[in-house]
Amino acid sequence: MCIERAFEEEIILVYCNAAGGYKKDVSIGHSQITVPFKGVLKKLNHNREVMFVQEVDNSILRDAERSYHIRKDSRERLLRV
């Protein structure tokens, strides 16, 4: 779902999820960074506690806006109401 949200909202999505376990609780982890066009830039495919740093070129958001026009379409719909 993270990839879909990045595309449809034209955003860089950073999904930070708890990881590991405590007594009977287990957190799934799988934190990730996703962007339009490229999808997942970095993903942790486990539930261990880890920290990572990822450089992201945010110019991809301008490219997504030019291609998808989602925000423009939303504004036009809102103004018609």
pLDDT score, position 24:
85
Q: Which two tokens stand for residue 76?
A: 């036009």
pLDDT of 3 above 90: yes
Is residue 23 within 8 Å of 9, Cβ to Cβ? no
pLDDT score, position 81:
65
- Where are the alpha helices (H) located in 10-69, listed in sequence order? 59-68
Count up the domains in the chain and report the number.
Answer: 1
Helix/strand/coil for 39: strand
Domain encompassing residue 59: 2-80
Per residue in 18-69, pLDDT tens?
888 888 888 889 999 999 999 999 999 998 889 999 999 999 999 998 888 8
pLDDT score, position 35:
96
Cα(15)–Cα(54) distance, integer angstroms: 13
pLDDT score, position 79:
81
